[in-house]
């Protein structure tokens, strides 16, 4: 069986290093490129504790990506760079698997058209942790029966965007599943932003503190009761089974898949 040739964008970041390590350890995958603005010229195998591989960190551009021979580009870069990286991958006939957050609805609509026109597959997921995907799925079930919901998402202090893509996606799913939105009385709030941000009628509260990785609670309220769904990622390895699943799936589709839940069986 031929291996899937994978390149990583943002390879020197914390998620990028874990992606490279995972690809190097998976016999079904082959790491062929590592791209980042940091650590250029460094052997990525040595950087992730796997020994020298001959693959050095390079700048991501048309020439370097094409020369790598990658079939899939896994992107965990930055919100400022991700859109350009996706377009670059498609230009090079490389299928993107994207975990970088910061893409807007308009970006996703544009990318969906671009992916379909190119006849390539792409997977963009707000969260690759399977437990987080299950939390979002369970939230859609709860939203049918419990009319009130608020989201508290907590991440490390180096996460530069807020709210998280997972929180936004969860709010969208809750709103779509609701039978009716709750009634708001914003005129009674004494402090601007005291109830957090609002996405489609769902309040989202973002916390950024050192010591955290990625955590989210969805609290539902109903008559005389609450229901709390919580997911915690204590280590970045929690995201890797989902990344591998997406890498293997993206070669089998010619559409944009938004959300890992579409790759799971429920």
193 and 134 fall within a common domain: yes
14 and 121 fall within a common domain: yes
Residue 50 is among the residues annotated as catalytic for this protein? no
Number of domains in the chain: 2
Of 155, 169, 215, 231, catalytic: 155
pTM of the full structure: 0.84
- Rounded distance between C-alpha atoms, residue 4 and residue 70, angstroms: 8
103 and 148 fall within a common domain: no
Mean pLDDT of the chain, nearest integer: 92
Of 50, 159, 248, 249, catalytic: 159
Edge-to-edge order in the sheet of strand 72-75: 57-58, 29-35, 4-9, 72-75, 95-98, 122-124, 256-258
202 and 250 fall within a common domain: no
Residue 251 has pLDDT above 70, yes or no: yes
202 and 89 fall within a common domain: no
- CATH code, 169: 3.30.360.10
How do residues 114-154 score in pLDDT, each as one tens digit?
A: 999 999 999 999 899 999 999 999 999 999 999 899 999 99
Residue 258 has pLDDT above 90, yes or no: yes
71 and 93 fall within a common domain: yes
Domain of 153 in residue numbering reads as 130-233
What per-residue confidence (pLDDT) applies to 185?
66
Contact 67, 60 (CB under 8 A): no
228 and 240 fall within a common domain: no
- CATH code, 100: 3.40.50.720
23 and 118 fall within a common domain: yes
Residue 155 is among the residues annotated as catalytic for this protein? yes
Looking at residues 48-54, what average pLDDT do you find?
Answer: 92
241 and 156 fall within a common domain: no
* Exposure letters 97-109 (e unless 16+ CB within 10 A, then b): bbbbbebeeeeee
15 and 85 fall within a common domain: yes
What per-residue confidence (pLDDT) applies to 187?
66
226 and 214 fall within a common domain: yes
User: Residue 179 — pLDDT band, cuts 50, 70, 90?
Assistant: confident
H helices present in the chain, as ranges: 14-25, 44-47, 62-68, 82-91, 105-118, 130-143, 165-177, 240-250
How do residues 212-250 score in pLDDT, each as one tens digit?
A: 999 999 999 999 999 999 999 999 999 999 999 999 999
- β-strand pairing of 225-233 with 202-208: unpaired
User: Residue 190 — pLDDT band, cuts 50, 70, 90?
Assistant: confident
How do residues 72-86 score in pLDDT, each as one tens digit?
A: 999 999 889 999 999
What per-residue confidence (pLDDT) applies to 134?
95
8 and 123 fall within a common domain: yes
From residue 207, give the alpha-carbon distance in Å to each of 78, 160, 168, 182, 203: 19, 11, 14, 24, 13
């Amino acid at each position: 069986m031929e291996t899937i040739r994978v390149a990583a964008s943002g390879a020197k970041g914390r998620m990028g290093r874990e992606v490279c390590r995972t690809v190097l350890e998976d016999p079904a995958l082959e790491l062929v490129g590592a791209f980042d603005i940091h650590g250029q010229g460094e052997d990525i195998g040595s950087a992730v504790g796997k020994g020298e591989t001959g693959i050095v960190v390079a700048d991501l551009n048309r020439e370097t990506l094409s020369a790598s021979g990658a079939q899939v580009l896994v992107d965990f870069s930055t919100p400022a760079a991700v859109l350009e990286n996706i377009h670059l991958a498609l230009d090079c006939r490389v299928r993107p698997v994207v975990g970088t957050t910061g893409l807007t609805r308009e970006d996703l609509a544009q990318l969906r058209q671009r992916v379909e026109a190119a006849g390539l597959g792409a997977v963009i997921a707000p969260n690759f942790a399977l437990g987080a995907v299950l939390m979002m799925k369970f939230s859609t079930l709860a939203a049918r029966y419990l009319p009130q919901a608020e989201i508290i998402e907590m991440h490390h202090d180096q996460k530069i965007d807020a709210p998280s893509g997972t929180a936004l996606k969860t709010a969208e799913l809750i709103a779509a599943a609701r039978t009716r939105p709750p009634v708001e009385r914003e005129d009674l709030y004494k402090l601007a932003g005291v109830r957090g941000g609002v996405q489609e009628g769902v309040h989202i509260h973002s916390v950024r503190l050192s010591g955290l990785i990625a955590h989210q609670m969805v609290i539902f309220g109903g008559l005389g009761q609450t229901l709390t769904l919580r997911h915690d990622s204590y280590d970045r390895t929690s995201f890797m089974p989902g990344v591998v699943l997406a890498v293997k799936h993206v070669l089998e589709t010619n559409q944009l898949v938004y959300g890992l839940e579409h790759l799971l069986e429920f």
